[in-house]
Structure 1
Amino acid sequence: MFQMAFGDSQESGEVVEKEDKSDMSWMKPLALFSEKKLVNLCAPMVRYSKLPFRTLVRKYQCDIAYTPMIVSNCFVCSQKARDSDFATCKGDRPLITQFAASNATDLADAAEIVANYSDGVDLNCGCPQRWAIQEGYGACLIKKPELVKDMVTQVRNRVSVDENFTVSIKIRIHKDLRETVDLCQKAEKAGVSWIAVHGRTVDQRCEPVNVEALRLVKDSLTVPVIANGDIRSVEDAKRIQEVTGVDGVMAARGILQNPAMYAGYDATPVQCVRDWLDIALSQGLSFTTFHHHLMYMLEKVMSRSERRLFNSLSSITAVLDYLREYYGIG
C-alpha cells in the first residue's frame, strides 16, 4: 500500500511514505471544514511539531497537524535537509507541510516534492524572527501581497493533479488592518484554501490577541479562517469562535503544555503522558526533544522545586525513574 520515498528521518527514524491515492481512510482537510463546526489544528512549531508529537495530539481530537517550518530552498536542494526535516507515516494525516520561502519557484518546487506525502502546503507569512525576515521569509511577506499571490498561484499551477491538495498561508496582522484584508483577499483570489491568522502584529509578543482583526478578516473572505494565538483550552476555542465566527483554531504553546486540550482536559492527563512515553521511545526520539516535551506537559502539575529537579534530569532512564517514583507512571 505504501512505498518508501526519499529517506529516513534523522530525528525520528521513521520512513517517509508515499500516499496510496486509493486509501481515503482519513478525511481530507477541506472536507473537515465542511463537516465540523470548528476544526482543531496543531500549529507548526520549530523542533516540536514533528512526527512523534503529531502522533500524540491526533489521539486527542486534533484534526489537522502541521510540520515545523521548513526552509524551501534548502529542502529542494539538499537530500540531507529532506531526510532531516520531513518524516511522516500512514497514520499521520491530515498533514500540512509548512514552508518558509522568499519566491514562488522555491515554494512550488518544494510543494511538488511533498505533494504525494502530505495533504497540503502552507506558506509561513508570520515568523517574526530576525533571521527569517533578513532572508525574506516569514512576516516580511505580509508587506508583499502581490508576491504572496504569485506564490499561491504558482503552487496551484504546479500541483494540480489532486484537487484535494490544499495551499494555505499563515500570517500576522498589520497595524493598519486594511493591509491585512487586502493581503487576504489577494490570496483568496489566487486560490488559497484557507488562511490562519495570528492576531498580533510582528512587534507584539504577549499582548492580547486582536479579536476585532480576526472578525474583520473572517467577514472579508469566503475561504475558511483559522484563529491563532491564546488558544489554550476548549473554552478559549469556543469563545474565539463565538466572537469572530472563525472556522478553526490553531494552538501552539497551549497544546505543548497540554496535548489533550482539544479533548477537553484542563491539564495533561496521566494517560497522555503514558502515550507520549510509548510513542517517543518507540520512534527513537532524541533525549532533548523527549525531555522538553515532558517539561511542557508537566509544567502545570509540578511545583517550582519539582520542575527544577525534573528539568535537571539528563537521561531517559532518569526521567522514567522519576515518573515512576513520583507519579506512578511506568
Structure 2
Amino acid sequence: MPSPKSIPIRDPKYKPTNIIKQSKEQGRHVTIAGPMVRYSKLPFRELCRFYNLDIVYTPMILAREFVRNDIARYSDFTTNDKDKSVIVQCGVNSVSDFMKFIEMINPFVDGIGINCGCPIRDQIKEGIGAALMSKPKLVAEMISTAKAKYGDSVCIDTKIRIHNDINETIEFVKMVEQAGSDMITIHGRTKNTRSSTPVDLDAIKTLRKHINIPVIANGDCFTKKDFDRIVDYAKVDGVMSARGILANPALFTGLDKTPWSAVEMFMHLVTCYGLPFGLSQHHITQLLENVIPKSYIRQINELKNMIELIDYLDEHFILKRKGEDGFATAVEPQWRQ
C-alpha cells in the first residue's frame, strides 16, 4: 500500500455526508450497499455503482490485524480511482488500534464505519461488533479521539443494532453523536434477533427523532418498494441493503430480479480485477438464484474453476464481452437456443 503522503487528497464531494446532503437537495434518499464479509470486494463494489448506488461499503476489516500484518492489508483491501464513495467497515475495540487504522487507510476511502452490530459469536467474544453495544463510552472515546486529531478529514459512520430496551439505544446514539459521529446506521434488530424476524422499523423511527445527524436504516430491503416504505415510515436519510444487494445489485433501480446485464458486467470486472474462484462462483449463483432454473444453479455450483465457469456460461447463454454491441444492457437471461 502506498504511503498516505504520496497519494492525492480525496475529493470531498464523495464524502458520505456530502453525498447525503446532495441527495437531499435533489429530493431523494441515498442508496447504500452494506458491508458483507468477503463479498463486498472491489469487483462487486464497482458492479453496485454500475447501477448508481450512492455509497458502497467494504467488508469488515479487523483493525488490529490490518495495522500489524502486511498480508492482511493486501488481502482485505484493494481499491482504484473508481472506488468512491466508499466506506471501509472497521472491526475494532481499542482507541489505539482505531487511530492507527485511520492513519493508514483514511487517505484511500471516503468514510470509516465502526462496526457495532455484527452478531457473529466469535466477533463478540473478541469484543468487537455487537459487543460494542454494551460499551458506549469506548465507542464514544474512539470517535472523539479520531475527531480531535483529524477533524472533518475523517467521516465516521457508527453502525449499530438496537437494545431490548430502546431507551438504552437512545442513550447510546446520543453519546456517539456528541462524540462526533458524522452519521449513524441503524440495523433494526438486536444482536440476538434472527434475520428471519422482521426488522423493527418502529425502533428506527423512534431513534431517528433523537438524532440530529444523518440516519441510515438497515434491514429487510430487498426491493425498491421496500426502500420507499422504509424511508417513508422511519423518516431516515437513506437505506442500506446487504442481502438484497448481494442477490440483486440493481434492486434500487426498481428491477425485482437481477438483470442479465449484472452477470455480464460482473464477469467482466472479476476477470479484470481478480477474485478467488469460490467467491466468484457464489456471486454468480446469488445473482442467478431467482432468474434461472435450480438445475442450472446446481450445475454452476459443481464447477471447479473460472475457466469452467466461463465455458459453462458461454455454452448455455450469450455472454457478451465489453466492447460488443449490447454489452451489459439486457434485462432477461440471454439463452442460447
Whether contact under 8 Å (2:36, 2:242) holds in the other structure is: yes
Q: What aligned pairs does 1:146-185 form with structure 2 within 5 A after superposition?
A: 146-160=137-151, 163-185=152-174
One-letter amino acid of the structure 1 residue matched with residue 271 of structure 2 = L
Residue deviations 1:224-245 (CA, integer Å, cap 9, x gap): 1111111111111110000000
Query: Is there any run of 5+ residues in structure 2 with no aligned partner, and where?
Result: 321-337
Identify the residue that residue 101 of structure 1 maps to in structure 2.
92
Identify the residue that residue 225 of structure 1 maps to in structure 2.
215
Task: Call closer, same or farther: CA 1:230–1:157 in 2, change over 3 Å.
Answer: same
Match 1:269 to one of 237, 259, 262? 259
Identify the residue that residue 28 of structure 1 maps to in structure 2.
15
Identify the residue that residue 135 of structure 2 maps to in structure 1.
144
Shift of 1:284: 1.9
Check if 1:40 corresponds to 2:28: no
Match 1:216 to one of 203, 206, 214? 206
Residue deviations 1:120-161 (CA, integer Å, cap 9, x gap): 21110001111111110000111111111111111112323x
Identify the residue that residue 300 of structure 2 maps to in structure 1.
310
Secondary structure at the counterpart of residue 113 of structure 2? strand
One-letter amino acid of the structure 2 residue matched with residue 294 of structure 1 = I
Scaled by the length of structure 2, the TM-score of the pair is 0.89
Q: What aligned pairs does 1:1-330 form with structure 2 within 5 A after superposition?
A: 5=2, 19-21=7-9, 24=11, 27-36=14-23, 37-160=28-151, 163-205=152-194, 206-330=196-320
Identify the residue that residue 10 of structure 1 maps to in structure 2.
none
Q: How many residues align?
A: 315
Q: 2: distance between equivalents of 1:144 and 1:25?
A: 31
Whether contact under 8 Å (1:19, 1:90) holds in the other structure is: no
Whether contact under 8 Å (1:280, 1:290) holds in the other structure is: yes
Task: Call closer, same or farther: CA 1:248–1:320 in 2, change over 3 Å.
Answer: same
One-letter amino acid of the structure 1 residue matched with residue 81 of structure 2 = K
Whether contact under 8 Å (1:115, 1:159) holds in the other structure is: no
Query: Is there any run of 5+ residues in structure 1 with no aligned partner, and where?
Result: 7-15
Q: 1: distance between equivalents of 2:5 and 2:234?
A: 38
Whether contact under 8 Å (2:246, 2:283) holds in the other structure is: yes
Shift of 1:264: 2.1
Q: 2: distance between equivalents of 1:291 and 1:159?
A: 40
Whether contact under 8 Å (1:241, 1:247) holds in the other structure is: yes
Whether contact under 8 Å (1:17, 1:90) holds in the other structure is: no
Q: 1: distance between equivalents of 2:295 and 2:259?
A: 21
Q: Once structures 1 and 2 are overlaid, which stretch shifts more, 26-35 or 95-104? A: 26-35
Task: Call closer, same or farther: CA 1:322–1:252 in 2, change over 3 Å.
Answer: same
Q: 2: distance between equivalents of 1:302 and 1:312?
A: 16
Whether contact under 8 Å (1:30, 1:164) holds in the other structure is: no
Q: Once structures 1 and 2 are overlaid, which stretch shifts more, 282-291 or 190-199? A: 282-291
Shift of 1:305: 2.0
Task: Call closer, same or farther: CA 1:45–1:215 in 2, change over 3 Å.
Answer: same
One-letter amino acid of the structure 2 residue matched with residue 211 of structure 1 = L
Q: 1: distance between equivalents of 2:281 and 2:303?
A: 8
Secondary structure at the counterpart of residue 68 of structure 1? strand
Identify the residue that residue 335 of structure 2 maps to in structure 1.
none
Q: 2: distance between equivalents of 1:190 and 1:286?
A: 39
Whether contact under 8 Å (1:17, 1:89) holds in the other structure is: no
One-letter amino acid of the structure 2 residue matched with residue 304 of structure 1 = K
Identify the residue that residue 330 of structure 2 maps to in structure 1.
none
Whether contact under 8 Å (2:29, 2:238) holds in the other structure is: yes
Q: 2: distance between equivalents of 1:86 and 1:191?
A: 26
Shift of 1:322: 2.2
Q: 2: distance between equivalents of 1:18 and 1:170?
A: 30
One-letter amino acid of the structure 2 residue matched with residue 228 of structure 1 = N
Shift of 1:19: 4.7
Task: Call closer, same or farther: CA 1:326–1:29 in 2, change over 3 Å.
Answer: same
